[in-house]
Structure 1
């Protein structure tokens, strides 16, 4: 009986751990400039810990905030 409870507890704690996919989308970051700054600071300090995907999302969000949602101009 104790093994079952221990395995259940271990499974529950594993499910609560950090996910491999960042939950923050580019759109959610665009709406939160302070979070963008925080992620960019963390990426500069330890990119391997934060993960490339989240760092790229923060960079894309910063770019969108700076340039806005303007369509690209076609050059002739």
Structure 2
């Protein structure tokens, strides 16, 4: 009986876990439709979604706009004359 109770308790704890994986910055960068949807929701009700998710949405938006940041500096071949 104790074994059955402990197994049942363990199953209940597993069932109470998160429903799905959290949205990561990389997954939002890869899925622009989901990013736009969450941006709109963050604008309307940031308290409901939470600061952590909205901060990841903002970071994903910055990465999509600025790129990966690995653009090398290429100076002009001729020095400009003023």
Same fold? TM cut 0.5: yes
Q: What is the aligned length?
A: 68
2:13 paired with 1:14: no
> The residue matched to 1:59 in structure 2 has which SS?
helix
TM-score of the pair, normalised by structure 1? 0.66
Match of 1:26 in 2: 25
Unmatched tracts of structure 2, length 5 or more: 73-82
Q: 5+ residue gaps in structure 1?
A: none
What does residue 57 of structure 1 align with? 56
More helix by share: 1
- Larger radius of gyration between Structure 1 and Structure 2: 2
Partners in 1 of 2:70 and 2:33 — Cα distance? 25
* TM-score, normalising length: structure 2: 0.61
